[in-house]
Structure 1
Amino acid sequence: MWWLDAFTTYLYGLSVAVSVIAVLMLASGMDDLFIDLVYWTRRTWKALVVYRRHERTYYHELYRPAEKPLAIMVPAWHETGVIGHMAELAASTLDYENYHIFVGTYPNDADTQRDVDEVSARFPNVHKVVCARPGPTSKADCLNNVLDAILQFERRAKLSFEGFILHDAEDVVCAMELRLFNYLVGRKDLIQIPVYPFERQWNNFTSLHYLDEFAELHGKDVPVREALAGQVPSAGVGTCFSRRAVLALLEEGNGVAFDVQSLTEDYDIGLRLKARGMQEIFVRFPVLRYRRHQKAPPFGQSRRESNVICVREYFPDRLSTAVRQKSRWIIGIVYQGYRTHGWKWRHGLVLNYFLWRDRKGAIANFVSFGAMLVLTQLLIMLLVQQVLPGTPRFLSIFEGQHWLDIVLYTNAGLMANRILQRVVFVSSYYGVKQGLLAIPRLLWSNLVNFMANWRAIKQILQTGDPRRVAWDKTTHDFPSIGGENRAKRSLDELLVTQGALTEARLREARAHPIEGLHAGSTLVHQGVITAEQLAQPIAEQAGVACEPVDANTLNGELVNALPMAVALQYAVLPLRVDGGTLVLASESYIDPVSLAAIARKLDRPVRYVVAHKGQVTVGLRRWYVKSDEHDPRGLLDAATRSGRIGAERGRMLWDSYVSRQVMLGEILVAQGHLDEVAFKALLLSHARSGQPLGEFLVAQGVIAQDTLDRLLALQSALQPSIASLLKTEALPPVQLIKQWTERVA
Structure 2
Amino acid sequence: MSFETVDTLIYIFFALKIIVILLAGTIFLLGIDDLFIDIVYWARKCFRHFRIYDKHAPADQKRLYGVPEKPLAIMVPAWQEVGVVGEMARLAAATLDYENYQIFVGTYPNDPETQRDVDAVCAHFPNVHKVVCVRPGPTSKADCLNNIIDAILTFEDQANIQFAGFILHDAEDVISPLELRLFNYLLPKKDLIQVPVYPYPPKWWGFTAGHYADEFAEYHGKDVIVREALSGQVPSAGVGTCFSRRAIAALLEEGDGIAFDVQSLTEDYDIGFRLKQKGMVCIFARFSVSDPSLALKTRWMPGMDRKTTQVICVREHFPRSFGHAVRQKSRWITGIVFQGTSNLGWSRYGIINYFLWRDRRGLLTNLLGLLVNVMLLVILTMWLITALVPDAWHFPSLLGNDPLLHTVLLCNGFLLLNRLLQRGYFVTRFYGIHQGLLSVPRVIWSNLINFCANVRALRQVVKTGDSRRVAWDKTSHEFPTVSRSAQIPIGQRLIEKGLLTPEQLEAAITSPHRRRLGRELMLRGLINSIQLTEVLAEQAGMEWGDFNPFAVSADLIEKFPRHLALRYAVAPCEQQDDTLVLASERPISQVSLGAISRKLKQPVSCRLVPQGRVTLALRNWYSDRHQNDETRTVLAFARANCNNPERIENICQHQVMLGELLQVRGIVSSALFNQALIDYDPEKESLGAHLVARGIITRDRLEQALKDQENEQHAAYQFAREAA
What TM-score comes out, normalization by structure 1 length? 0.89
What is the aligned partner in structure 2 of residue 184 from structure 1? 186
What is the aligned partner in structure 2 of residue 599 from structure 1? 597
Q: Helix, strand or coil for the counterpart of 2:69?
A: coil
Question: Contact 1:39–1:224 (CA<8 Å) still a contact in 2?
Answer: yes
Amino acid at match of 1:311: V
Question: Contact 1:636–1:650 (CA<8 Å) still a contact in 2?
Answer: no
How far apart in 1 are the matches of 2:402 and 2:635?
A: 108
Deviation at 1:184, TM superposition (A): 1.8
Q: Structure 1 stretches of 5 or more lacking a match?
A: 732-745
Amino acid at match of 1:606: V
How far apart in 1 are the matches of 2:713 and 2:636?
A: 21
The answer to whether structure 1 residue 373 and structure 2 residue 410 are counterparts is no
Q: Name which of 6, 28, 31 aligns with 1:29.
A: 31
What is the aligned partner in structure 1 of residue 693 from structure 2? 699
Amino acid at match of 1:148: D
Deviates most, 317-326 or 282-291: 282-291
How far apart in 1 are the matches of 2:404 and 2:638?
A: 109
How far apart in 2 are the matches of 1:649 and 1:341?
A: 74
The answer to whether structure 1 residue 243 and structure 2 residue 237 are counterparts is no
Give the paired residue count.
719
Deviates most, 318-327 or 157-166: 157-166
Q: Helix, strand or coil for the counterpart of 2:53?
A: helix
What is the aligned partner in structure 2 of residue 406 from structure 1? 407
Deviation at 1:65, TM superposition (A): 2.1
Amino acid at match of 1:320: G
Question: Contact 1:119–1:485 (CA<8 Å) still a contact in 2?
Answer: no
> Structure 1 vs Structure 2: percent identity of aligned residues?
49
Q: Helix, strand or coil for the counterpart of 2:607?
A: strand
How far apart in 2 are the matches of 1:665 and 1:370?
A: 68
How far apart in 2 are the matches of 1:160 and 1:697?
A: 16
Deviation at 1:713, TM superposition (A): 4.0
- Gap change, CA 1:449 and 1:654, over 3 Å in 2: closer
Q: Helix, strand or coil for the counterpart of 1:685?
A: coil
Question: Contact 1:118–1:486 (CA<8 Å) still a contact in 2?
Answer: no
Q: Helix, strand or coil for the counterpart of 2:678?
A: helix
- Gap change, CA 1:690 and 1:385, over 3 Å in 2: farther
Deviation at 1:704, TM superposition (A): 4.5
What is the aligned partner in structure 2 of residue 740 from structure 1? none
What is the aligned partner in structure 2 of residue 552 from structure 1? 550
The answer to whether structure 1 residue 335 and structure 2 residue 306 are counterparts is no
Q: Name which of 200, 210, 213 aligns with 1:211.
A: 213
How far apart in 2 are the matches of 1:108 and 1:548?
A: 45
What is the aligned partner in structure 1 of residue 266 from structure 2? 264
What TM-score comes out, normalization by structure 2 length? 0.92
How far apart in 2 are the matches of 1:421 and 1:649?
A: 72
Question: Contact 2:61–2:289 (CA<8 Å) still a contact in 1?
Answer: yes
The answer to whether structure 1 residue 571 and structure 2 residue 574 are counterparts is no
Q: Helix, strand or coil for the counterpart of 1:686?
A: coil
The answer to whether structure 1 residue 674 and structure 2 residue 654 are counterparts is no
- Gap change, CA 1:684 and 1:3, over 3 Å in 2: same
Q: Deviations over 1:55-96 (max 9, x none)?
A: 211012222222222222222222222222222222222222
Q: Deviations over 1:681-723 (max 9, x none)?
A: 1111114984332332333333455554454344333322876
How far apart in 1 are the matches of 2:589 and 2:645?
A: 33
What is the aligned partner in structure 1 of residue 476 from structure 2? 475
How far apart in 2 are the matches of 1:211 and 1:115?
A: 30
How far apart in 2 are the matches of 1:525 and 1:251?
A: 54
Q: Helix, strand or coil for the counterpart of 1:485?
A: coil
Question: Contact 1:84–1:485 (CA<8 Å) still a contact in 2?
Answer: no
Deviation at 1:447, TM superposition (A): 1.2
What are the within-5 Å matches in structure 2 for residues 476-495 of structure 1? 476-480=477-481, 482=482, 484-495=483-494
Q: Name which of 66, 88, 91 aligns with 2:90.
A: 88
What is the aligned partner in structure 2 of residue 737 from structure 1? none
Q: Deviations over 1:643-683 (max 9, x none)?
A: xxx97999866544443222221233244442111111111
What are the within-5 Å matches in structure 2 for residues 190-339 of structure 1? 190-289=192-291, 297-339=300-342
Deviation at 1:381, TM superposition (A): 2.6
Q: Helix, strand or coil for the counterpart of 1:30?
A: helix
Q: Name which of 105, 109, 112 aligns with 1:110.
A: 112
Q: Deviations over 1:565-600 (max 9, x none)?
A: 322222111111235432221111123333343334
Amino acid at match of 2:249: L
How far apart in 2 are the matches of 1:92 and 1:637?
A: 36
- Gap change, CA 1:717 and 1:417, over 3 Å in 2: same
What is the aligned partner in structure 2 of residue 739 from structure 1? none
Deviates most, 48-57 or 573-582: 573-582
How far apart in 1 are the matches of 2:668 and 2:631?
A: 33
What are the within-5 Å matches in structure 2 for residues 392-431 of structure 1? 394-396=395-397, 398-431=399-432
How far apart in 2 are the matches of 1:700 and 1:656?
A: 35
How far apart in 1 are the matches of 2:45 and 2:365?
A: 28
- Gap change, CA 1:423 and 1:544, over 3 Å in 2: closer
Q: Helix, strand or coil for the counterpart of 1:552?
A: coil
Question: Contact 2:633–2:720 (CA<8 Å) still a contact in 1?
Answer: no
What is the aligned partner in structure 2 of residue 9 from structure 1? 11
Deviates most, 589-598 or 615-624: 589-598
- Gap change, CA 1:326 and 1:689, over 3 Å in 2: farther
How far apart in 1 are the matches of 2:524 and 2:326?
A: 65
Q: Structure 2 stretches of 5 or more lacking a match?
A: none
Question: Contact 1:657–1:720 (CA<8 Å) still a contact in 2?
Answer: no
Q: Helix, strand or coil for the counterpart of 2:306?
A: coil
Amino acid at match of 2:334: I
Deviation at 1:724, TM superposition (A): 5.6
What is the aligned partner in structure 2 of residue 628 from structure 1? 626
Q: Helix, strand or coil for the counterpart of 1:235?
A: coil
What is the aligned partner in structure 2 of residue 661 from structure 1? 655
Deviates most, 119-128 or 501-510: 501-510
Question: Contact 1:586–1:610 (CA<8 Å) still a contact in 2?
Answer: yes
Question: Contact 2:667–2:697 (CA<8 Å) still a contact in 1?
Answer: yes
- Gap change, CA 1:503 and 1:54, over 3 Å in 2: same
Amino acid at match of 2:562: M
What are the within-5 Å matches in structure 2 for residues 443-454 of structure 1? 443-454=444-455
Question: Contact 1:167–1:239 (CA<8 Å) still a contact in 2?
Answer: yes
- Gap change, CA 1:640 and 1:571, over 3 Å in 2: closer
What is the aligned partner in structure 2 of residue 741 from structure 1? none
Give the alignment's Cα RMSD to 1 decimal. Answer: 3.0
How far apart in 2 are the matches of 1:160 and 1:721?
A: 42
Deviates most, 26-35 or 397-406: 397-406
Deviates most, 491-500 or 353-362: 491-500
- Gap change, CA 1:647 and 1:49, over 3 Å in 2: closer
How far apart in 2 are the matches of 1:355 and 1:561?
A: 58
Deviation at 1:634, TM superposition (A): 7.1
Deviation at 1:152, TM superposition (A): 2.5
